[in-house]
Structures are given as C-alpha cells and as structure tokens.
Amino acid sequence: VLLYRRRRGRRTPPFSLLVVAGSGGHTTEILRLLSCLSESYSPRHYVLADSDKMSEAKIRSFEQKRAEKFSKSQFSLDRIPRSREVRQSWISSVVTTLYSILYSLPLTYKRKPDVILCNGPGTCVPVCLSAFLLGLLRIKRTVIVYVESICRVETLSLSGKILYYFSDYFIVQWPDLKKKYPKSVYLGRIV
C-alpha cells in the first residue's frame, strides 16, 4: 500500500479496507494480520461466505477488543454465496463462482474499498475479481493484497493460483514459494 501511495501521489488516511474471511484457519490468520494494522485502516468491511458460521463470532470478538483500543473503530459484515464448497466438482464450481461474482459486484461497488486483504478462502476469488473488474471499468481502483496461508509451503492454494495474476501484492511466507513464483514477495512468517 505504501508503494502504491508513492506511485499515485499522496493518499491520506483513513483507508477503507475490505477483508475476506474464511472458515477455519483463514479467519484466524487474517485477524492476526489485522491486529498489526493501525487505526488508519478504517472502516473495515468483512466479507464472508453465507455458510460460514464460525467467522462472524471471531470477527465480532476481535472488533470488540479493537474498539477498546481505538475509540473510532468502525466495521461491517457482509455475506456472499460461497464460490466453492469443499469437495465440490470443478464443473459446478464454475457456475457457483460466477454466481458469487455477480453477487460480489454490487457489494464491491457499494463499499469501494481502497485495499482488499485476503489470505486464501475461496470467497476471496469473486470479491477480488469484482474489484479488478471495477478497476478495469475505471469506477474504482482497489489495491489487492493477497497473503498465502502459512500452511502453503511448497504449492499455492487454488485461490492463490488464480489471484497470483490479479493481485497487486502477492505475499508468500516460505522461500520455496518465492522461487517458484517470482512475482511474489517473501516476508518470512508474518502470522
């Protein structure tokens, strides 16, 4: 984000941040990343799959603790249809992903985030592609920051393989991935 700001001229805080949460470890990892961010990243708009029941409680707890530290903390929660269920066939996942993209477009347009931060749940693909499309249409340019999950040591996740080509910053946490994917940025373990 800092490099983007230097290239495009001065952008003063706050930055509208859209965070894609995913069930299980994805939400835990993304919340660890968010705990390091300053209050300049506000409001925070969380997007999660409509079938994800666990992430909402984690996000609300995180935001409640954050509000104690930063009095002007703002956040929202939005749900979209899951683009791909675990063990869903590839053919049917194309259809559900297209449906999820159509659902994500008005949401991304409404929120108009400055930055999207995601770390691998399938839900991030339609959201990022929607933001990318809005940028192509010159409606809103959004910086997409993708952080590959810490558990991905040798290969990228399916979301990572897709978003490698659409993200502005693609961060990996293992040196072997940096060797295989030269566009990526290796920062070591960050979560």
pLDDT digits (tens, 9 = 90+) for 145-189: 999 988 888 889 888 999 999 999 999 999 999 999 999 999 888
Distances (CA, A) of 25 to 53, 55, 105, 131, 165: 13, 10, 26, 24, 24
What integer pLDDT is reported at residue 158 of this predicted model? Answer: 87
Residue 36 lies in a domain: yes
Q: What is the pLDDT of residue 4?
A: 52
At 80 the pLDDT is 93
Residue 30 is predicted with a pLDDT of 92
| The predicted structure's pLDDT at residue 8 | 55
Boundaries of domain holding 64: 17-186
Please give the helix or strand (H or E) that residue 80 lies within, else none. Answer: strand 75-80
Could you tell me if 75 and 48 are in contact, meaning their C-beta atoms sit under 8 angstroms apart?
Answer: no
Q: Which residues of the chain have pLDDT under 70?
A: 1-12, 85-86, 191
Position 51 scores a pLDDT of 86
Domain-located, residue 12? no
Instruction: Give the predicted TM-score (pTM) of the model.
Output: 0.87
Q: What per-residue confidence (pLDDT) applies to 48?
A: 92
Let me know if residue 111 belongs to a domain. Answer: yes
Instruction: Specify the CATH number for the domain of residue 117.
Output: 3.40.50.2000
Cβ(156)–Cβ(138) under 8 Å? no
Provide the β-strand partners of residue 118: 146
With the C-alpha atoms ordered 154, 160, 166, 172, is the resulting torsion angle positive or negative? Answer: negative
**Pick from 177, 150, 174: which is nearest to 164 by CA?**
177
CA distance 117 to 33: 9
Residue-level pLDDT at 9: 54
Which of helix, strand or coil describes residue 151?
coil
How many domains does one find in the chain? 1
**CB-CB contact of 20 with 126 (8 Å):** no
Distance CA 143, CA 135 (A): 9
How many Cα atoms within 13 Å fall on the side-chain side of residue 179? 6
- According to DSSP, the residues that pair with 164 across neighbouring strands are none
Q: Give the rounded distance of the alpha carbon of 177 from its chain centre.
A: 19
Does 118 reside within a domain? Answer: yes
- 77 inside domain: yes
Angle at 22 (CA atoms; ends 106, 175), nearest 5 degrees: 115
H or E stretch including 17?
Answer: strand 17-20
Domain-located, residue 4: no
Whether residue 34 lies inside any domain: the answer is: yes
Q: Is 5 a member of any domain?
A: no
